[in-house]
Amino acid sequence: MSTISEVAKEAGVSVATVSRVINQNASVTPETQKRVNAAIAKLNYHPNVWGRSLRRQESRVLLIFVPNITNPYYANIISGIEDTARRNHYNTMVCVTNVDKERAKEYFDLLRCGSADGAILLDTTKNDKSVPRLAKNFPVVQCCEYCTDENISHVSIDNLEAAKQVVQYLVSLGHRRIGFAGAVNDFISTEQRETGYKKALEEAGIEFDSRYVAYADEDYNFLSGIRAVKELLCLKDRPSAIFCISDMIALGAIRAAGEMDLRVPEDLTIVGFDDVAYATMFKPMLTTVSQPGYSLGKTSCNMLIKQMGGAAPNHMFLEHKIILRDSSAANAVE
Amino acid sequence: MSTISEVAKEAGVSVATVSRVINQNASVTPETQKRVNAAIAKLNYHPNVWGRSLRRQESRVLLIFVPNITNPYYANIISGIEDTARRNHYNTMVCVTNVDKERAKEYFDLLRCGSADGAILLDTTKNDKSVPRLAKNFPVVQCCEYCTDENISHVSIDNLEAAKQVVQYLVSLGHRRIGFAGAVNDFISTEQRETGYKKALEEAGIEFDSRYVAYADEDYNFLSGIRAVKELLCLKDRPSAIFCISDMIALGAIRAAGEMDLRVPEDLTIVGFDDVAYATMFKPMLTTVSQPGYSLGKTSCNMLIKQMGGAAPNHMFLEHKIILRDSSAANAVE
DNA sequence: GTGAAAGCGCTAACAC
DNA sequence: GTGTTAGCGCTTTCAC
């Protein structure tokens, strides 16, 4: 590992000149430039990032907080963030929190100790108190999930509206007994999708029936999806359609239906949320809501960079899309 | 962001004393310790990592190179690496290369510029030339995939043996026309699984028939899996069993069979590889080879840390397991 | 256009 | 047990 002063000696110039050549921001004779570049190449010199950061007081690293990377839904978002970051000469560091507050707190220290300049959070919960505290001192953008504090930037889709549209679509298919498979967690999207479900029912003049609502585990896992949906399917007047707040739960719903000898979509319509790749690998292929993952990531990252440049916190909602496939059909139950 | 000298002033001691308290490695009066700690708390001081790294000449960051994070198969490995790293006071940085050599090269610079102390590579190809070059200058461990250079550490399962066992199992079920769905890439696991397939056939006295071998795309994607397997199923003497080198391809195989009105496993036995979570979400649930993901990650990380401490390169093979589920059955085709 | 030198925050060798 | 100080590699101000 060679240093700037070794390069300077090799090229017969001062370290200042080498620095100027590296950063291309000051006048250096083309000829000296050539000599310096030759020395850099010869010594295989790479500017040491610690020295530079210490001097510049910035790390050019952005943090990405993800609850887990098992969910393919995050892959696109992360791609969007990373591409944008790299285009702006930032490196990224994926921090997998596993929904563990302790671990997240440790990762927050990466900001406090200077390891990173800002963070994009994909795992904020509704009433999270640590995020506002962090955002007071560091540039932070929330993506997809966000807390109720108005002063912190966020980028997401309009979950309430999306859920409403799903239920309106189900109503348009003739369904009246529409179930809802949610999850027990503190994500705002979870809440908003349930609210959207209720609003759409109300607007359609269908009375809300709490027996038609069931909940999977915190992390929307497959097995708990099966369990939750079975609760609904065991009812005397079982729903003819079920809106699931994640594809994973919807996959569980298909399995649950199969185990109870119900055909999808003939006997039961199922709609998911997220449009992960696996939504099309199953038969029947899943009707679901598609989020613009890559754009969500890209927009978040751009917002963060602007904010680090002094811009005020901002809120953005991107467009979702309902993808019609095989798991939904007109109500034929009675 | 307060500095060590501000803490020193606040506590009425020198910066050296503060440093000693922080690093708990020298004798400081309990009383001064208390004073210093009070000052640290009061100023909410966090040691600046740039200053420390510059001085100590280490970053305490490890890189994890992953081809993509869409594949859930990597999640466990990464967990294993991260937990182990954190236990040893290292931070990790996930670098998603997208099988893009250019991007990987840029990430390699993180080592050259001091941003990281070592790397675990999950995406090495057989004849990769850049990895040996990198490994000459920096601590590197390869996980799951590795290149032919003997001097670079690696941790993986014995892919050849695993493939052999799968085929032996299929033979034991009475299958004689056994197909192989591989992929067009330069991963050593791909090659070894094909070699294992051929060896097992040979040992069973079954002549190798090149018509029974088809290839999915480089990244084992679902659609190309369907395509490859359809090639095999269109043969006059179609195979009664197919060994797929990844679960994703195996999922494609199930779809392909379905589209050609073949039942799995009654008309066609399918075996996958990796045992991803989705292997059990489908009906039929997949017979597959399970790799000890978490252990692979953990072992790699421990090996890297030992190596950074001066240990010589090492090679390790961990145990795999064949998981019998619903997609395989005795040959009933003729 | 180029060089000398200060200083970013920290640790550790040395002095007392 | 504690303080002084050099120096890690870099950028940038100020001379010239």
pLDDT category, A92, cuts 50, 70, 90? Answer: very high
| Minimal-distance CA residue of chain B relative to A49 | B113
Residue A295: both structure tokens together: 């754009």
Mean pLDDT of B238-244: 98
The label of the residue with tokens 């702006």 reads: A88
pLDDT at B219 over 90: no
Report the top-level CATH class of B58-157+293-318.
Answer: alpha beta
The CA distance from B156 to B66, in Å, is: 15
Q: What is the mean pLDDT of chain B?
A: 95
Q: What pLDDT, on a 0 to 100 scale, did the predictor assign at position B334?
A: 63
Percentage above 90 pLDDT, chain B: 88
Cβ atoms A35, A11 nearer than 8 A: yes
Using a CB-CB distance cutoff of 8 angstroms, which residues of chain B are in contact with residue A74?
A: 69
Q: What CATH architecture applies to the domain B4-47?
A: Orthogonal Bundle (1.10)
Q: How far is CA A292 from CA A126, A299, B23, B70, in A?
A: 22, 10, 46, 16
pLDDT at A99 over 80: no
Q: What pLDDT, on a 0 to 100 scale, did the predictor assign at position A42?
A: 96
Mean pLDDT of B278-288: 92
Question: Rg for chain A (alpha carbons), in Å?
Answer: 26
CA of B212 to C1' of C2 (A): 71
Cβ atoms A304, A142 nearer than 8 A: no
Q: What pLDDT, on a 0 to 100 scale, did the predictor assign at position A68?
A: 83
pLDDT at A331 over 80: yes
pLDDT in tens, B76-94: 999 999 999 999 999 999 8
Which residues lie below 8 Å from residue B215, measured CB to CB, with a gap of 6+? B181, B182, B183, B184, B228
pLDDT in tens, B43-58: 999 999 999 999 999 9
Cβ atoms A39, A7 nearer than 8 A: yes
pLDDT in tens, B311-331: 999 999 999 999 999 999 999
Domain boundaries, chain A: 4-47, 58-157+293-318, 159-291
Show which residues sit with Cβ under 7 A of nucleic chain D: A 1, 3-5, 15-16, 18-20, 22-23, 25, 45, 47-48, 50-52, 54-56; B 12-17, 20, 26-29, 31-32, 51, 54-55, 57
Q: What pLDDT, on a 0 to 100 scale, did the predictor assign at position B49?
A: 95
* Domain A159-291 sits in CATH 2.40.128.20: no
Mean pLDDT of B114-132: 95
Q: What pLDDT, on a 0 to 100 scale, did the predictor assign at position A334?
A: 63
pTM of the model: 0.92
pLDDT at A9 over 90: yes
A33: the nucleotide nearest its CA (via C1') is C1
Q: Is the minimum distance from the CB of B5 to strand C below 7 Å?
A: yes
Mean pLDDT of A183-195: 97
Tell me whether domains B58-157+293-318 and B159-291 share a fold: yes
pLDDT in tens, A286-318: 999 999 999 999 999 999 999 999 999 999 999
pLDDT at B151 over 70: yes
The label of the residue with tokens 């236990």 reads: B87
Q: What is the mean pLDDT of chain A?
A: 95
SS (H, E, C) B263-322: CCCCCCEEECCECCHHHHCCCCCCEEEECCHHHHHHHHHHHHHHHHCCCCCCEEEECCEE
